[in-house]
Amino acid sequence: MNLEINDVYQLDIPSRRSDNAAVTEFTIIALLAVAVFLLAGFTLLLFRGKRSSAPRARKGNRDREAIVREANRALSQNPKDAGALQTLADLYFTEQAWDKAYKTYAALVDICATNPDLDSHTINLRHGLCALELKQYEVAYKSLVFARSLNAEGFDLNYGLGVLEYRRKAYEKAVSLLRAAHEESPEHIGTTRYLAQALYKIKKYNDAIGLLRRLVDVQPDDKEALFVLGQAYFELGQEEQAARIFSHLRTDPAFGPRSALLAGTIRLKHKQYEKAQTDFELGLRHEQIHPDVAIELRYRLAGAYTKTQQLSKALGLLDQIQDARPAYKDVPQQIGRMRELASNKNLQTFLVAGSSEFVALCRKVTDNFFPQARVKVTDVSVTRNEYADILAEVETSSWVDLILFRYIRTTGQVGELALRDFHARLKDLKAGRGFCLTAGTFTDAATQFVEARLIDLIDKEQLVKILNRVA
């Protein structure tokens, strides 16, 4: 009996597997059919979409043309049709067709006063913005000011009017307007640029630097922003950062000449004469230089050449400046001075040589100041290469004294303050007498100061005679 039952089960199992296989096969076929149907439907929809996209675009063009045609038809019947004018003006403004939009909004501006249904604020605002784009600044200013009298809010209004106030050099007003625009749209590049430059103009250099640095980070090739950043650093006395920026801009066609001038000026101030010469020479190599900048570059370069005792080069530049502008600064006086220096080696050394040569010459003058005297120099000091103090024990056949000599390197006037300082130094060193020598002159106050004191003043005329005696 058990065997029969087992036999039945053995016969039933293969039958069930066959039925399951059939069901599975049918299911797969059905799913494939559905997939094929869906794919076909999707392809058909996609094809229809592609076919219909071109007609829609053409329909959009037809709609625009129809709008323009309908508006022009209305205007042909009534040139002051407000609706038609508004339709065209808004269309041209959206398309940034500034010239057409400007003319159409101008027509609307004329009829705003007699048509209360028109939005006078928006019409004047957009008329002003179009004029600004077309560089008709006076018209733009009038329209934007009027628009602001109706409603002072809005980024476009504050930005546009801020730009115009900046152009009119009303920098305080520009800052107020541009700050309002910047608060509304802090990422707008134009607002950031104009606000930074306006802040620089009103000497709020730290505020300007923050905006300029952000602007340069976003637009590293913005040379104007970089130049103003360098100027702001320069005004704050951060000359290292300023010099780095100006050096980078020296070769730029637009900002190169001015950058070279400022870089060289900084280096001249720090007595880096060779580097200053390089800066000024690079500035003069540009093809297009503003005449004022070119003159100043030559003037500063002549000064740098003088400091390195290249007097012939300095004189050549000064002659060029005098030919172009005869009364420029102290050029005539400098030319006379250069020619005198060229003819007097000792005077040249006294005024423009390095410290070591200058001190060596001063010691020679000290040794030969009193004929047939025995001189022993006990102390030498140089202050900022502007003057040298030499303390010496001087013994002659009739007297012995401790004398302080001060040699001042200037061709200008020496005043009372300098003499008071010299007198205080005499007391500190317990010197019995003092001689102050300069290649310039002494003021009346300085002369009066030494009248009751043991100080002798020797001006340029006397100094030249003494220098001529020194071998």
Q: Using one digit for the tens of pLDDT, what is the confidence trace for 89-126?
A: 999 999 999 999 999 999 999 999 889 899 999 999 99
Q: What is the DSSP letter of 330?
A: T
Per cent of the chain over pLDDT 90 is 76
- Give first-to-last CA distance, the chain, whole Å: 150
Q: Is the pLDDT at 38 greater than 80, yes or no?
A: no
Residues in Cβ contact with 163 at an 8 Å cutoff, skipping those fewer than 6 apart: 132, 174, 178, 190, 194
Residue 309's pLDDT band, with cuts at 50, 70 and 90, is confident
Look-up: residue for tokens 């066609």?
253
pLDDT (0 to 100) of residue 62: 63
pLDDT (0 to 100) of residue 17: 37
Residues in Cβ contact with 174 at an 8 Å cutoff, skipping those fewer than 6 apart: 162, 163, 165, 166, 194, 195, 198
Residue 401's pLDDT band, with cuts at 50, 70 and 90, is very high
Q: Name the 3-class secondary structure at 88.
A: helix
pLDDT (0 to 100) of residue 376: 96
The mean-pLDDT minimum among 131-145, 183-197, 343-357 falls in: 343-357
Mean pLDDT of 32-45: 47
Residue 470's pLDDT band, with cuts at 50, 70 and 90, is confident
Q: Is the pLDDT at 64 greater than 90, yes or no?
A: no
What whole-number distance in Å separates Cα of residue 313 and Cα of residue 301?
9
pLDDT in tens, 438-467: 999 999 999 999 998 999 999 999 999 999
Handedness of CA 266, 272, 273, 274 (dihedral sign): negative
Alpha-carbon separation of residue 263 from 27, 125, 259, 268 (angstroms): 85, 44, 6, 9
Residue 307's pLDDT band, with cuts at 50, 70 and 90, is confident
Nearest Cα to Cα of residue 438 among 379, 403, 391, 387: 387
Q: Is the pLDDT at 20 greater than 60, yes or no?
A: no
Q: Report pTM.
A: 0.72
Q: Is the pLDDT at 173 greater than 60, yes or no?
A: yes
What whole-number distance in Å separates Cα of residue 180 and Cα of residue 162?
9
Q: Is the pLDDT at 40 greater than 50, yes or no?
A: no
Q: Is the pLDDT at 133 greater than 90, yes or no?
A: yes
Q: Helix (H) and strand (E) counts for the chain?
A: 21, 7
pLDDT in tens, 377-400: 999 999 988 999 999 999 999 999
Nearest Cα to Cα of residue 307 among 336, 248, 267: 267
Q: Is the pLDDT at 1 greater than 90, yes or no?
A: no
pLDDT (0 to 100) of residue 60: 52
Q: Name the 3-class secondary structure at 457.
A: strand
Residue 471's pLDDT band, with cuts at 50, 70 and 90, is low
pLDDT (0 to 100) of residue 27: 47
Mean pLDDT of 254-269: 97
Residue 249's pLDDT band, with cuts at 50, 70 and 90, is very high
Mean per-residue pLDDT over the chain, rounded = 88
Beta bridge partners of 395: 374, 400
Alpha-carbon separation of residue 8 from 4, 20, 62, 91, 438 (angstroms): 6, 19, 81, 88, 137
